[in-house]
Chains A and B, each alone.
Chain A
Amino acid sequence: AQTVTQSQPEMSVQEAETVTLSCTYDTSESDYYLFWYKQPPSRQMILVIRQEAYKQQNATENRFSVNFQKAAKSFSLKISDSQLGDAAMYFCACRNSGNTPLVFGKGTRLSVIA
């Protein structure tokens, strides 16, 4: 079974600055998918970005990008030009290929300071 570790329970960033959230994972599979979900105070889990393990290129979605280091089993999320609306709990998640559930990390609470 996979495990996902987020070692930063809380982070803060100044508005317009850049912040990086860390995530490491462990899986015995060679084919898997990685995700970052955002959960603002409104509670809804929103998919921020996904990365397929077989792709070497790091995924990017507007101000959000990942640094995927497959050998190190690391999957960090970089948020550029942070905005107040980025304040939320961020969960890293991993899923092996096939009919397997998502495994979530414990989350990192991000605060954005105006």
Chain B
Amino acid sequence: DTEVTQTPKHLVMGMTNKKSLKCEQHMGHRAMYWYKQKAKKPPELMFVYSYEKLSINESVPSRFSPECPNSSLLNLHLHALQPEDSALYLCASSLRTFAYEQYFGPGTRLTVT
């Protein structure tokens, strides 16, 4: 199974809402990543988890809060987002942090109204 799954596929939320994005993999990977991708741009790294511990936070605003409950699951909690946060949010995983190919999920298309 070489699949990274993400739910939901689409999410529309107001600026006062609280929502969560979910990412799951069952490949035994110990590194998981969140990326943000705006239209026609490359992905931008947000967070990296290695062995369930946050190892990189690329100066992401606190309205984005990652969580890694176990080695297979990665969440991104959203609160008080701005319209400019509308984007495709991609999750990825790799066997070890950066040392191997990253496998990407299909993404969650987020629209903040």
Q: Which residues of A contact B (CB under 8 A)?
A: 35, 37, 42-47, 50, 89, 91, 95, 98-102, 104-107, 109
Contacts and interface: CB of A to CB of B under 8 A. Distances in A.
11 contacts: A44-B104, A44-B106, A44-B107, A45-B43, A45-B90, A91-B43, A101-B56, A101-B98, A102-B98, A105-B42, A109-B40
Interface string B42-77: 110100100000011000000000000000000000
Contacts of B102: 47, 102
B42 A107 contact: yes
Given A91-B42, A101-B56, A50 B107 contact: no
A85 B108 CA distance: 22
Interface of B: 40-43, 45, 48, 55-56, 88, 90, 92, 97-99, 101-107, 109
Given A43-B106, A47-B101, A99-B55, 15 more contacts: A42-B106, A43-B90, A43-B109, A45-B90, A45-B104, A47-B103, A50-B101, A89-B40, A95-B98, A98-B99, A99-B98, A102-B102, A104-B43, A106-B41, A109-B40
Nearest to B56: A101
Interface of B (DSSP majority class): loop
Contacts of B109: 43
A61 to B, nearest CB: 12
Given A106-B41, A107-B40, A44 B98 contact: no
Nearest to A100: B98
A46 B104 contact: yes
Nearest to B44: A104
Interface pairs A-B: 5 shortest CB-CB: A104-B42, A45-B104, A44-B106, A43-B107, A101-B45
Nearest to B3: A44
Contacts of B106: 42-44
A56 to B, nearest CB: 21
B4 to A, nearest CB: 9
A44 B43 contact: no
